[in-house]
Amino acid sequence: HRSKVSFHMHLDVNILHHPILYCTQAGTAIVAHELQEFEEARRYYQEALAIYIECGDRDEQAITYYNLGMVAQELQEFEESRRNYQQALAIYIECGDRDEQAITYQALGMLAEVEENYAEARVYLQTALEIYVENKDEYREAIARKVLERLPE
């Protein structure tokens, strides 16, 4: 039996620009996500995202879009998940972050697999695999290969 945790916080809007709030919103979202309180997690990720957008922090925006994609996928909101992953991917491409691009391509591939869109899954996973090989990430390369092998024709 798991006890419920309340995540309600009363914040003065004047402190929205305080750096500690970034950590608070994102941190609270992560805790809620880990506890599978997906609606709470989404709410806090969205609040954190608004702050990151206002401050122009592209790295944190990408991370938060990715996390929102994971939450939406957990809730089986697949279109929302795809939109968030694609937002994250666009930022990672813009910033030239190949590692995170590969991870996001893999997430998109896994999402397509869940939706039984195997052709799309294969394209995303193959792209992730190519980047893993390029970056000599043998661990993630092995995972991507395993997922590709299990996809039906």
pLDDT in tens, 78-128: 999 999 999 999 999 999 999 999 999 999 999 999 999 999 999 999 999
Residue 67 CB neighbour total at 10 angstroms: 22
pLDDT confidence bin for 31, thresholds 50/70/90 = low
More confident residue, 20 or 60: 60
Contact 53, 47 (CB under 8 A): no
pLDDT confidence bin for 25, thresholds 50/70/90 = low
Length of the chain: 153
Give the pLDDT score at 19: 45
Query: Distance (Å, rounded) from C-alpha 117 to C-alpha 89?
Result: 19
Give the pLDDT score at 12: 35
Residue listed under structure tokens 């990430």: 137
pLDDT at 65 over 70: yes
